[in-house]
Structure 1
Amino acid sequence: MSTVLNISSYKFVTLDDAPALRERLHAHAQALGLKGTVLLAQEGINLFLAGPAEAVRGWVADLKQDARFADLEPKESWSDTVPFKKLLVKVKGEIIRMNHPTIRPDIRGSAGRAPAVSPETLRRWLDQGRDDEGRPVVTLDTRNAFEVDYGTFRDTIDWRIGKFSEFPAQVQAHKDAFKDKTVVSFCTGGIRCEKAALYMQEVGIEHVYQLEGGILKYFELTDGAHWQGQCFVFDEREALGCALEPRQAPSPESP
């Protein structure tokens, strides 16, 4: 049985004390022997950590003592070894770079989020080929091209972007294609599609949703139907299957 607990989570919440918070979170994670990455910015937190279950959950419990993170619910998966080489806790300009400073979910708050669709509902919509109001449903992969190559939803829209900051220009170029359709944006854990869906709303795309919790939550709460391949993750596991099990990703030379 795998004994290393891996967690990922994010939250858009205004952090005016990011440098001081960085010192506290780093010290606690280091004392517990955790490895991974925690990114902090004025717009929120984005984290990937791994270690013994008791240590990881203890770190999360301490973080949730801060009222700003009380509702944080990290996604969990297991591995035989720690998939990170070191611990990094950094303060950045954005926790996910889009280069559109007006797209700030932390300022908008929960009432200003783009609508979210649950994994179970998305699976049902994909079964039907339409949403509950009869509109055709399309999925939009907001990840970078090399991530998409590991796996994605069947018949998804993939603009082959090289970095997330290219996403807004692609929306502008293709937004008319979404007329009279319901579009569900998705990414690995939910953070990119949170910003993506808000941006699409701002440019006038009417029926847009984000996949709540991203691909990893879809794997956790459904049987992975409509997904093809694996999900790339940014650690030494490289890719996960629909049961959240680490898999050896194909080499570039593989057919």
Structure 2
Amino acid sequence: MGGLLAGEVASSVAVESACRALRDPQQPRQSADDLKAVLNLANEAVLERARKMRYVGKMGTTLVVWAMQGETAYFSHVGDSRLYVYRGGKLSQVTHDHTLAQRMIDSGEIAPENAHNAPNKHVLVHAMGLPGAFKADAGVVPEFDRVLLCSDGLSDLVEDADIEAIMATPDLDDCTNYLLKAALDKGGRDNELDIQHLEVIDESANHSVPAGAQTHFKVVIVSPGFENASRIDRHRRINALLQSEFDQGMHALAIHPYTARVLDMRRVLAFYKFTGVDELEALQGELLQMGAKLELKGTILIAHEGVNGTVVGTTSALTELSRSLQQRFGEMPFKWSDLAEDNRGFYRFKVKIKPEIVSFGVADLDLQQTGEHVDAQRWNELLADPDVLVIDTRNDYEIDIGTFPSARSPETTNFREFPSWVEEQLDPGEQKQIAMFCTGGIRCEKASAFMRQAGFEKVYQLDGGILKYLEDVEEKDNRWQGECFVFDQRVSVDSALNQGQYDQCYACRHPLSSEDLASEVYERGVQCPHCVGQASQTRLDSFRQRQKQVELAAARGEAHIGETQK
């Protein structure tokens, strides 16, 4: 029902419930009253879903069903969804609309031909899913050559005479398509999501599930139907539409719902995969060519051990990149996030050949023996377990602006220091359970493999890192505290994955709070409270000269570091 939240959810639940009842051999369907009972079951199902979604009184639908029993056809309906019969070249409406306009026609207040212009013509007097509004009618379908069931998405836009003409089309598929086209040509959209972009990604292989199981998915959906809807409302609508998939064994669903404007919006895509890579120079050339074609900015690291990147581009461009990467490397995790309109994210696009895609400095790690990947729900359980040691594998300047409660910091300035810290501070005989996390998951792949190799038997890692946790977790269940440092010009993201509040010191790369920026020792581009007194005078002079060039370029409306620079 238009004007209400989650109308497509209500209609989906109603149809699923009605079909389930009609297919049930124990459900009577010998009469029109039996079909009315089917609609009653569907109404109860919609009300129950509304209660679960906390949408009672906010979602509803109309419905019409029919069924053959021997030589007789029965129907039942509620609202203004209609049943027509087409016989001998003539179209006749069988159902009687449950609308205010129809009541006015019945009482003689308006003529039938004036119903389209009646005030509040769309107001329903009976509907499904709204407390106290349900009342179904039922009856016998008269003789027919064809039967048409439709919502007001067709009947309110296309004149009966035009419907009648289309119903004469011999082929049923063509007839259906012509009816749909007629409604769309009149501007019809009804209350569906009108999906403009859809990606369904099977992430089951990244979880501890039996081989071949399909239990964990990610969906990226772009629809104008999400306009003005909150993030929670968007998630509820998709979850409700896919409830039957959960009932059939789907365990987890990461939802990325966006409005149509996002297709042209610049976003951030992070990804990695450990996999054997040959011919690095050739791959570098291919990726550089693709980056130029798609107008990407950012950095991709490639090594014989795999690929790791963070790039900025339009949603459509990043989608094309992700598809190309999956064609070459197979399934891999992608993490999407947003940046402010005035933030470029990166100045240029680079593809670098490296010894490692994340520098760790430990040779011969068995990356097939990593920690157990856990989702957001399981992670929260681990955080609450006093017998689990939670380790933040990131660097100290990242941890300073946000982490999980009770997480232990290795107090490192770079990731290569992590192995020494483990050897000096931890003992496999004392720490029986280890839970680890990082920004996007890649550092935990190596860190957990190292821990397993060092003798720690029970090691967990947060699947997809902090970024995926923030994507998946409900606000009420979010245990993250602060902001998450990211390695691009956003500096940090908040719990909604929007650009955070921090700036960054050019000299030491430490994130800067508003208090840091107000400090007497802060000098933009030169030093901050975290690094004051650490640089030589020569370095300070160099920083000041660079900052001067940055400000001169900004005054000209240019970026100091441009695309042509190498």
Output the TM-score relative to the length of structure 2: 0.41
**Is the 1:120–1:221 contact (alpha carbons within 8 Å) kept by the matching residues of 2?**
no
- Residues of 1 paired with 2:391 and 2:429: CA distance? 10
2:379 paired residue among 110, 122, 142:
122
Displacement of 1:138 = 2.4
Partner of 1:238: 491
| Superposed displacement of residue 178, structure 1 | 7.1
Tell which structure's C-alpha radius of gyration is larger: 2
Corresponding residue for 2:387?
136
Is the Cα contact below 8 Å between 2:401 and 2:482 reproduced in 1? yes
Task: Quote the residue 1:78 is aligned against.
Answer: 338
1:139, distance to aligned residue in structure 2 (A): 1.3
Q: How do residues 31-180 of structure 1 correspond to structure 2 at under 5 angstroms?
A: 31-66=293-328, 69-79=329-339, 80=341, 81-105=343-367, 108=368, 112-126=369-383, 129-130=384-385, 136-176=387-427, 179-180=430-431
Instruction: Determine the C-alpha separation between the residues in 2 that align with 1:196 and 1:178.
Output: 18
Q: Deviations over 1:55-94 (max 9, x none)?
A: 111122122221xx22023111122243111111000000
One-letter identity of the residue aligned with 2:484: C
Q: State the Cα distance separating 1:211 from its structure 2 match.
A: 1.1
Q: Which ranges of structure 2 fall in alignment gaps of 5 or more residues? A: 1-260, 503-512, 520-566
Match of 2:269 in 1: 7
Q: Measure the CA separation in 1 of the matches of 2:429 and 2:284.
A: 41
Report the Cα offset of residue 19 of structure 1. 1.6
The Cα shift of 1:254 comes to 6.4
Using the size of structure 1 for normalisation, the TM-score is 0.89
> Deviation of residue 226 (structure 1)?
2.3
Which amino acid in structure 2 is aligned with residue 102 of structure 1?
D
Structure 2 residue 449 is the aligned partner of structure 1 residue 198: yes
* Partner SS for 1:246: coil
| Alignment deviations for residues 194-222 of structure 1 (CA, whole Å, 9 cap, x no partner) | 11011011111122111110010111111
Give the corresponding residue for 2:252: none
Which SS does the other structure have where 2:309 is aligned? strand
Once the two structures are superposed, residues 29-49 of structure 1 have per-residue CA deviations (whole angstroms, 9 ceiling, x without a partner) of 111100001000010000101
Are 1:43 and 1:104, in contact at CA under 8 Å, matched by a contact in 2?
Answer: no
- Cα offset for 1:162? 0.9
Question: Does structure 2 retain, via aligned residues, the 8 Å contact 1:114–1:208?
Answer: yes
In structure 2, the partner of 1:26 is 288
Aligned length: 242
Which secondary structure state, in structure 1, belongs to the residue aligned with residue 327 of structure 2? coil
1:104, distance to aligned residue in structure 2 (A): 4.7
For residues 180 and 165 of structure 1, do their structure 2 counterparts lie closer, same or farther at Cα, with a shift above 3 Å needed? Answer: closer
> SS where residue 20 of structure 1 aligns?
helix
Greater RCO (Cα-Cα under 8 Å, separation 6 or more): 1
Separation in 2, partners of 1:138, 1:227: 16
The change in CA–CA distance for 1:97 and 1:178 in structure 2 (over 3 A counts) is farther
Identity %, equivalent residues: 36
Given that 1:114 and 1:197 are in contact with CA atoms closer than 8 Å, whether structure 2 keeps it comes out as yes
Q: Which stretch shows the higher mean deviation, 161-170 or 56-65?
A: 56-65
- Measure the CA separation in 2 of the matches of 1:96 and 1:77: 21
* Conserved 8 A contact 1:138-1:156: yes
- CA-based RMSD: 1.9
Q: Distance in 2 between matches of 1:141 and 1:254?
A: 29
Name the structure 2 match of 1:217: 468
User: Residue 188 of structure 1 aligns to a residue in which SS?
Assistant: coil
**Amino acid in the other structure paired with 1:113:** T
Are the aligned partners of 2:438 and 2:466 in contact in 1 as well (CA < 8 Å)? yes
**Contact kept? 2:393, 2:409, Cα under 8 Å:** yes
Greater shift in the superposed pair: 139-148 or 171-180: 171-180
Q: Please give the alpha-carbon distance, in whole angstroms, between the structure 1 residues aligned to 2:366 and 2:344.
A: 33
Q: Closer, same or farther in 2 for the Cα pair 1:153/1:58, shift >3 Å?
A: same
Amino acid of the residue matched to residue 494 of structure 2? G
Unaligned runs of at least 5 residues, structure 1: none
SS at match of 1:158: coil
Task: Give the distance between the partners of 1:208 and 1:88, measured in 2 at CA.
Answer: 34
- One-letter amino acid of the counterpart of residue 381, structure 2: R
2: distance between equivalents of 1:125 and 1:61? 34
Is the 2:301–2:354 contact (alpha carbons within 8 Å) kept by the matching residues of 1?
yes
> Is the 8 Å Cα contact of residues 139 and 156 (structure 1) preserved in structure 2?
yes
